[in-house]
Amino acid sequence: MTEAKRRTHARVLMYSHDSMGLGHLRRCRAIAHSLVEGDSGLSVLILSGSPIIGSFDFRARVDFVRIPGVIKLRNGDYTSLSLHLDIEETVNLRSAIIKHTAEIFDPDIFIVDKEPLGLRGEVKDTLEMLKDRGTPLVLGLRDVMDEPELLMPEWERKKVLPALRDLYDEIWVYGTKEVCDPFAGMKIPPDVQLKTRYTGYLRRHAPTSHMTQPPNAPFLDEPFLLVTAGGGGDGESLMDWVLHAYETDRELPYPALLVLGPFMPHEVQTEFMERAEKLDRVRVITFDSRIEGLMARCAGIVAMGGYNTFCEILSFDKRALIVPRTEPRLEQYIRAIRAKELGLVNVLVDDGDRDPRAMSAALRRLPGQKLPSQAGQPQLLDGLDRVRHLTKRWIAEDRGGDRPMAEATPLRRPA
């Protein structure tokens, strides 16, 4: 057997389970772009189940492998998004693609987003294989997961704590302990706490090039509100409430641009667009893969308060009204209430009635809010710098100079 080739360029493999939503993918993409910007000799490959990952642009030396998609049902189960396969077959296929990709790509570090063992344990075999190779394994967590009394039983059922203890070398929390701690109220073993690093929130930047205006929104030359529901799969209530406010109060301070999200049901999108057409100061678009450009330009943001949107509110220093989702997880609510306590945002909780007067009053208060930068919370946005530093350290320790490439098992083709 010939001596294994040596390589001088580092490789980062990232995994994002992504069923229906944009949060995990956008977080991984932001980290990947930051890593390649900070190191011209580094490449990043993202494993993702997002059905719209191809709608985003990626920097040089960042690429992705799209694994078969799944969708989460209302009862909490998963099913295949597009294939005539049951969920077990789909997960087995995803798991095989993930493992073989890792085997061939041979990363210098593997970063897993949120789900320690992946969707239904699909990453466990890959983690064990890379562990045997000596590859550093990192779990990245957002600042809030869920309320402790629900999260701990879920982690016990999924056997998460043994994975954190035995498989992962480090755990990165993409936030600050002073704002939100995902382990708050949970009995986390000391050895797991010792390997946890709080990076700070992930700063976002507006794209260098962006369309001058969404179609049919000439008012964007003046201050406007950006109303966003992220992926939109659970954003119907927010959009309905904001529209009701504009329908009943024609003198609200700012016109509004509603970004519904690509996963909002088509019939609901159509209904909202028809309602908006009757309003002079409201326009609707479905999706913008470079929404950061709109966030940088707007006067304020109305959103549900997912992790990425919160990072963008801080990054672009925007006054914000958060209307958090409270089911099936309290993640957004916990983050929103804590951010309000710190003076970073204002919050309006959906009580089910959605009185348009309550929304109207909150929108009228928005121009008088303090900016997040005026809340006296320093160094919240150091996350990408910290992640680059941690990644570089692990790669340097792992490689110890030029690292021999592992020999991958060749594909077996039918005779």
User: What pLDDT shows up at residue 217?
Assistant: 59
User: What pLDDT shows up at residue 219?
Assistant: 61
Same domain, 397 and 347: no
Least confident piece of the model among 39-43, 55-59, 236-240, 381-385:
55-59
Residue 209 lies in a domain: no
Q: Return the HEC string of the chain.
A: CCCCCEECCEEEEEEECCCCCCHHHHHHHHHHHHHHHHCCCEEEEEEECCCCHHHCCCCCCEEEEECCCEEECCCCCEEECCCCCCHHHHHHHHHHHHHHHHHHHCCCEEEEECCCCCHHHCCHHHHHHHHHHCCCEEEEECCCCCCHHHHHHHHHHCCHHHHHHHCCCEEEECCCCCCCCCCCCCCCCHHHHHCEEECCCCCCCCCCCCCCCCCCCHHHHCCCEEEECCCCCCCHHHHHHHHHHHHHCCCCCCCEEEECCCCCCHHHHHHHHHHHHCCCCEEEECCCCCHHHHHHHCCEEEECCCHHHHHHHHHCCCEEEECCCCCCCCHHHHHHHHHHHCCCCEECCCCCCCCHHHHHHHHHHHHHCCCHHHHCCCCCCCHHHHHHHHHHHHHHHHHCCCEECCCCCCCCCCC
Same domain, 233 and 284: yes
Same domain, 224 and 337: yes
User: What pLDDT shows up at residue 73?
Assistant: 64
User: What pLDDT shows up at residue 414?
Assistant: 33
Residue 326 lies in a domain: yes
Same domain, 132 and 241: no
Residue 143 lies in a domain: yes
Residue 56 lies in a domain: yes
Same domain, 144 and 51: yes
Q: What is the rounded average pLDDT of the residues 118-138?
A: 96
Residue 237 sits in which domain range?
218-375
Task: Look at 309 and 5; give whichever has higher pLDDT.
Answer: 309
CATH code of the domain covering residue 61: 3.40.50.2000
**pLDDT per residue as tens digits for the range 330-389:** 999 999 999 999 999 999 999 889 999 999 999 999 999 999 999 998 889 999 999 999
Q: Is the pLDDT of residue 401 over 60?
A: no
Residue 410 lies in a domain: no
Q: Binning pLDDT at 50, 70 and 90, where does residue 19 land?
A: low
Same domain, 167 and 281: no
- Looking at every residue in the chain, the average pLDDT score rounds to 89
pTM confidence score:
0.90
Same domain, 278 and 360: yes
**pLDDT per residue as tens digits for the range 279-326:** 999 999 998 888 999 999 999 999 999 999 999 999 999 999 999 988
Same domain, 247 and 356: yes
